[in-house]
Amino acid sequence: MRALNPGGTIGAIEGEGEIPMATQRQVAIVTGAASGIGRAMALGLLEGGIDVAGVDRDGALLADLETAGGGKSGALRTVRVDLADPAAFDTVLTVVLDRSGRIDILVNNAGIGQGSVRADQRRNPLRFWEITPEQWGRFVAVNATAPLMMARAVTPHMLRAGRGRIVTVTTSLGTMIRGGYVLYGASKAAAEAATAVMAADLAGTGVTANVLVPGGMTDTRIVPDGAVADRSRMLRPEIMAPPLLWLVSDEAATVSGRRFLAAHWDVSLPPAQAAEKSGAPIAWTSIATMPIEPD
């Protein structure tokens, strides 16, 4: 099936009929859901009994996700769009609301890494004077603009419900300022700053905004083959599921404006204690000073 969004852009929609209309279960949108961290988080939410709309531009990998998501407690449908397309956000919103009647959770995970520009990035860093305007535009569109526009699309529906969760996957703060990482680091820093602003704007509304990161290099397609000698030493994408499930739970209803490192999440602890151990203020708020302004 294909759906026409209000602006006229056509997006491919898979898994027709799998999520019942006006479902009583929570409904989550997960972007970049077809592989890596997004796939792990989508499957984790499904295991937790949450319906998931998995968004990605790779149809073949979305089909694999549908197979893996079968038989879970939550129901899965997939939406194939490219989030670099400004019309994609209305397409996703329309599909999810038409089929489920609600949006409770947004997980902003879709992203591109510098391995897509230079496969040997770690050994041969891409310096800022070597990038092209087209590369910069693509990275900003996917890594920074898409999370903000997805949040912009879903937040009015969350506000009407008096409840919602926005979780954005950025990157380690050190990566944001690492030499040779201007495309990835700066665009992810923009996404983190935007999420901090969201948390401030949403204070007291019942809608929260937080950041969740793996906390280190993770074994996903964003790291090209050959970039690391032993991929088994990398973090596993599945570590993202436990902190995410806590962030979208009632227990975390007042938690907003925080960033969590999945690598530091101790699953042997009660979730609230694990969150305290692995959490910190979002972005750079712990060192920020507000500007002097006239009355």
pLDDT at 120: 86
pLDDT tens digits, one per residue of 233-282 = 778 889 999 999 999 999 999 999 999 999 999 999 999 999 999 999 99
Catalytic site residue from 89, 139, 181, 184: 184
Using the predicted structure, report yes or no on whether residue 3 has a pLDDT greater than 60.
no
pLDDT band at 6 (very low <50, low <70, confident <90, very high): very low
pLDDT tens digits, one per residue of 59-93 = 999 999 999 999 999 999 999 999 999 999 999 99
Report the pLDDT averaged over residues 142-163: 98
Using the predicted structure, report yes or no on whether residue 17 has a pLDDT greater than 60.
no
Residue 184 annotated among the catalytic residues of the structure: yes
According to CATH, the superfamily of the domain at 2-281 is NAD(P)-binding Rossmann-like Domain (3.40.50.720)
pLDDT at 292: 86
52-56, 173-177, 202-206, 207-211: least confident range:
173-177
pLDDT band at 231 (very low <50, low <70, confident <90, very high): low
Average pLDDT, whole number, for the chain?
89
Measure the CA angle with vertex 83, ends 126 and 60; round to 5°: 95
pTM for this entry: 0.88
DSSP characters over 100-121: HS---EEEE-----GGGT-TTT
Report the pLDDT averaged over residues 146-161: 98
Crossing angle of the two packed helices 146-161 and 182-201, in degrees rounded to 10: 20
Using the predicted structure, report yes or no on whether residue 216 has a pLDDT greater than 90.
no
pLDDT at 215: 85
Report the pLDDT averaged over residues 194-206: 98
pLDDT at 14: 52
Write down the domain spans for the chain. Answer: 2-281
pLDDT at 281: 95
DSSP 8-class letter at 265? -
Q: Burial code of 169-205, b = ≥16 C-beta within 10 A, e = fewer?
A: bbbbbebbeeebbbbbbbbbbbbbebbbebbeebeee
